[in-house]
Amino acid sequence: MSDPRNDDFDDRFDRFDRLDAAMLQRLDQELQEVRSLYDKLDDGERERYQLWLRRVTEVDADRLLSLPSAVMIHTAHVVHDDDENVVYEGHAELAPSVLLSAVDAWSRGQDFLPGTWRETS
């Protein structure tokens, strides 16, 4: 007979695994939104965006720890057809450090894997 305390722990662990997977999937979707816009930038715009992200990341890192807050970057775009009907609406809301890690990887011609972003930042 199994110990009910272990079963409870296993159930909680499984829920955390599912939550983690859902969070990584959402992060990946949001990064794909930004990547689709980033790929349309010319080299100068990409460089300016990367520099801007560095500055925002530094500001975010310098926030007051005694006042819980966070900087998030919201990116949105809408695609219309010839009749001005909305055919696609995308958005992303990500921490500057995540975006900076992604842009750094993309600028090197590498893919960015959301599950390992902390290892690259």
> Is-contact 71 78, C-beta < 8 A?
no
Work out how many domains the chain is built from and give that number. Answer: 1
Write out the residue range of the structural domain in which residue 103 sits: 4-120
Indicate the pTM of the whole model: 0.71
Instruction: Please tell me the predicted confidence (pLDDT) of residue 43.
Output: 96
Among residues 39, 20, 7, 8, the alpha carbon closest in space to that of 103 is found at 39
Q: Count the neighbouring beta carbons within 10 Å of the beta carbon of residue 114.
A: 19
Residue with more model confidence, 58 or 114 = 58
Look at residue 103 in the predicted model and tell me its pLDDT. Answer: 95
Give tens-digit pLDDT for 60-105: 888 877 788 888 999 988 888 999 988 888 889 999 999 999 999 9
